[in-house]
Amino acid sequence: MTPSNIQLRPLVDESDYTVLEAIHLQSQTVDQVDPHSAREAVLTVDVLKRFYPFDSTVNSPNLQIAMRDGQVVGYVQVLWGWREITGVYVFLHQGYVSPQWRGQGIGRRLLQWAHERIYALAAEKNITGPKTFASNVSSTERACARLVEHAGYRIMHTLTDMAAAPIGVKPVRPLPAACQLAQPAPEHLHSIYMTWKAAYGTNALSTPPSESDERNFITEHFEHPCYDPSLCSLAVADGQVVGVVLAQIRRGAGMIDEVCVHPDWQRRGIAEALLQNSLNQLAARNMAQARLYTDAENAAGARTLYERTGFREVKQHYFYRKPLDEA
């Protein structure tokens, strides 16, 4: 039963970001949040401002802060929605409760609000076809996993969070004769995006190529404050990018953000060569470890590739889903 003395309110002003940061700092030890992970992090004020922008004109309708006995005890956010290539429209939400307030129905109240808000958004946007709630939970966030599983969510996809520590420095195997090793330049960006889309085109979680999707991809990777082209590796054939490894240094670790090869060029050793080149660059910057995540199921052999280059699993991350018509 959800207690009745929980009040929900939106962001009041930017000072609330400090309150939200405190919830994550309090949860770090209990939930075993890995500060060097490529998949998760302790959310600071600066990160929260990027994730959850405050808009005083609309009262931030997709975020609610939970209050009990005059104290902030948690918050929930409906982040965004998208349609996958399967035709399913996904509504992602995430909620957090301070450890000392868990087990008192607060998480259930936040989940209830997320469901109500998503139903409203689906109606406002006239989203047709199959629709699903979604929430992402790591294997060490046990309280959150119990909450969503009790609500009928099921794991539909699992990622493995991997670390190479120390980074193994090795000679880079030669690329195919038609390929040249390169670093990203402005003229490569569209070709990088198209190779990325082609490489993941059959993945059920993928989205169709679009102008807005390409803009988001470029912003995320090439306009990030940590972007450094010297850490990235491309295979270029006849002026087209056919293989990509994108890497950055963030939070004191080397982050491998993308590894992909165009389907026409796969199984020729390109991914391993590019990955090792970027790992060598990270080691030259005195990085103690490199991090990445990939499909745990190893359907395309990515996990085997990463283990061959020195990566080992640290934890797993689960994509939970529940169709809207089951709520």
CB 315 within 8 A of CB 138: yes
pLDDT value, residue 56 = 62
Per-domain residue ranges of the chain: 7-159+319-326, 166-288
Fold of the 7-159+319-326 domain: Aminopeptidase (3.40.630)
- 188-192 own/partner pairs: CB under 8 Å, 24+ apart: 188/234, 188/236, 188/241, 189/218, 189/222, 190/214, 191/240, 191/241, 192/234, 192/241, 192/244
- pTM for this model (two decimals): 0.90
CB 3 within 8 A of CB 110: no
Fold of the 166-288 domain: Aminopeptidase (3.40.630)
d(CA 236, CA 191): 10
* pLDDT tens per residue across all 327 residues of the chain: 555 689 999 988 889 999 999 999 999 999 999 999 999 988 899 888 877 777 665 567 899 999 999 999 999 999 889 999 889 999 999 999 999 999 999 999 999 999 999 999 999 999 999 999 999 999 999 999 999 999 999 999 999 999 999 999 999 999 999 999 999 999 999 999 999 999 987 776 778 899 999 999 999 999 999 999 999 999 999 999 999 999 999 999 999 999 999 999 999 999 999 999 999 999 999 999 999 999 998 777 899 999 999 999 999 999 999 999 865
Same fold yes or no, 7-159+319-326 and 166-288: yes
